[in-house]
Amino acid sequence: MAPQKIKKFSVIIPTYNRSSFIAETIESFLCQDYHDFEVIVCNNNSTDNTQEVLDAYLNHSKIRLLFEERQGVHFARNTAAKFASGDLLYFTDDDMLATPNLLSEMVKIFGLDETVATATGRVLPKWETQPPEWVEKLLFNSRLSLNNPTEETIISSDDCNVYSCHQAILREVFFRAGGFNPENVAGVWIGDGETGLNIKIKELGYKFGYIGSSIIYHIIPPSRMTQKYLNTRLRNEGNCHAYTAIRMNKGKINLSKEFLTELRHFFNKSKSYLRMSKNDVNYLRFILAELNYMFAKLSYYRKANNDSAFMKMILRHDWLS
């Protein structure tokens, strides 16, 4: 199960209507101190002036520009992977800023254990404006796709918060696993994205890695510092978790059982947040968010149960064909 000898990185950046950010993201990767890498930017059918921004890089020796008209970040990532020439595929998003040694530090984790197939690093915020105190305190985690554990190095049999905004994967393993599952389609989550990919990688017998010295910054706009954003985030998580559960149960859904399970989950989480609100009233925000989570998850189950085409999409394994 020894991995390929790593020589070249393929940095893959899907982009959708982020003309204001994408150039900064690209430039941060062009400043890498790693010796051998390419940057593949895949325009996922943007409707703003993203393509005009990208056209400025048409003749850059390090950059390849692609266009994917099928809406969905998984289509953009998987299409770009097919054009990649690197031994190691590195995936990020179009609102990220890389530190100059990101790739040279990331490659080190793969030399520590031959069974590590995918890895991540530290994901820190770059706030566009000063965040409210509750956001900085309560959302400095997966809710904003941030990752800042106390450990410097982790090698685990379980997914250690390997997010697709900062994820390196051995090329061979990526294709064996069948690529990214569906995720964000024009702002709506319909699947489990990198979570599903990571489940498939684990099923192949590989491990996950984290190296804190490989750092990237996530641009956080004011729109993600609101209750509305938190509610939307939890709705998306509800869709994501329902998709995963259906796949794990091979398409079997007991709507009555799921209703009772989610109702218990909501009440237990609400009681927990009520207790925590005695020290910080902002924990009450999560009760409303959890309500969004519950309704989204149950709605997803209902749709999957009644729509055979939707169920077929959920159960699909290979998203590279």
Domain boundary assignment for the chain: 9-222, 227-315
pLDDT at 133: 97
Per the listing, tokens 């209507």 go with 17
64 forms bridges with which residues in the sheet? 40
Sign of the dihedral defined by the CA atoms of residues 95, 317, 202, 234, in that order: positive
DSSP 147: B
- Residue 171 identity (one-letter amino acid): R
Output the pTM of the full model. Answer: 0.95
Of the candidates 122, 93, 102, the one whose C-alpha atom is nearest the C-alpha of residue 24 is 93
Per the listing, tokens 């030399």 go with 111
pLDDT at 178: 97
Of the candidates 29, 159, 18, the one whose C-alpha atom is nearest the C-alpha of residue 92 is 29
pLDDT along the chain (321 residues), means of 10: 72 97 98 97 97 97 97 97 97 98 97 96 98 97 97 98 97 98 87 97 98 98 98 97 98 97 98 97 98 98 97 96 86
Beta-strand ranges (E) seen in 171-206 are: 184-185, 188-189
Which fold does the domain 9-222 belong to in CATH? Answer: Spore Coat Polysaccharide Biosynthesis Protein SpsA; Chain A (3.90.550)
Q: Give the 3-state secondary structure of residue 202.
A: helix
Tokens of 129: 């404006």
Residue 200 backbone phi and psi in degrees, to 5? -65, -35
Chain-centre distance for alpha carbon 199: 13
Beta-strand ranges (E) seen in 128-286 are: 153-156, 166-170, 184-185, 188-189, 207-220
